[in-house]
């Protein structure tokens, strides 16, 4: 059995969410601890939860009887940690520290390192609102946004800034490495691991096995 299974950015309720893949991951990857590193729900689309989305929640509740499930608050969370704990029945917090022998790993959603989101929160919320409006009423908008996002230098640079800010933070606070989400871009280096998401064409998650090896797995 693995020590940790770490996922993030599931966005239940969003039409891009891929619950069938997550259900397979939860079934085939047994772990003593499961960390959901933010954005389990998409707060813009809570009214759009489908049958498979509810299956994910049901599966997590069943797993919580055998595994320790920790939910970390993300920028799409609609309630604070205390209320999310009551709603989900899991332990909820802003961050979690994994101790592996002599190494300390910080696990966090990652939006705190997004200077655009934190500094220009109202503008970010306005842009996000426009994004969801366009997606709702424009055919083929999802493919367009994926194409646009993948090829936009500003987005890549922004993601790099999040990584750079995260690395600065762990250096200042004496962590050995960090595992986070938020950008939806999976990545694995010695000090920085991004879990990716479950609402892109390529889904991904992180495992820490019984030998303390960290592994990023991608699924198409």
More confident residue, 127 or 199: 199
73: phi > 0 → left, psi -120 to 50 → alpha, else beta; which? beta
Which among 1, 53, 45 has a CA at the least distance from the CA of 22? 53
* Structure confidence at residue 19 (pLDDT): 96
CA distances from residue 169 to 179, 191, 219 in whole angstroms, order as listed = 12, 11, 30
Give all strands (DSSP E) within the chain, no chain letters: 2-7, 31-36, 68-72, 91-93, 95-100, 103-108, 177-180, 187-188, 192-194, 203-208, 214-219
Q: What is the pLDDT of residues 5-55, one digit of tens each?
A: 999 999 999 888 999 999 999 999 999 999 999 999 986 666 788 999 999
pTM, entire model: 0.81
Q: What is the pLDDT of residues 45-99, one digit of tens each?
A: 667 889 999 999 999 999 999 999 999 998 877 666 677 777 788 899 999 999 9
pLDDT-above-70 percentage for the chain: 76
């Amino acid at each position: 059995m693995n020590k940790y299974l770490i996922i993030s950015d599931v966005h239940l309720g969003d039409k891009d969410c891929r619950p069938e893949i997550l259900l397979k991951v939860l079934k085939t990857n047994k772990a003593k601890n499961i960390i959901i590193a933010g954005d389990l729900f998409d707060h813009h689309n809570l009214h759009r939860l489908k049958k498979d989305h509810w299956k994910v929640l049901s599966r997590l509740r069943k797993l919580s009887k055998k595994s320790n499930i920790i939910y970390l608050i993300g920028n799409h969370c609609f309630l604070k940690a205390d209320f999310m704990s009551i709603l989900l029945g899991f332990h909820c917090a802003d961050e979690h520290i994994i101790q592996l022998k002599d190494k300390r790993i910080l696990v966090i959603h990652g939006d705190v390192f997004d200077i655009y989101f934190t500094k220009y929160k109202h503008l970010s919320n306005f842009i996000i609102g426009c994004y969801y409006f366009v997606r709702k009423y424009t055919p083929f908008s999802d493919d367009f946004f994926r194409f646009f996002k993948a090829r936009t230098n500003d987005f890549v640079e922004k993601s790099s800034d999040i990584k750079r800010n995260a690395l600065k933070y762990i250096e200042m606070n004496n962590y050995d490495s960090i595992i986070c989400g938020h950008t939806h871009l999976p990545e694995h280096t010695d000090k920085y691991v991004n879990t990716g998401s479950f609402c892109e064409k390529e889904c991904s998650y992180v495992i820490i096995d019984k030998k303390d090896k960290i592994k990023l797995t991608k699924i198409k």
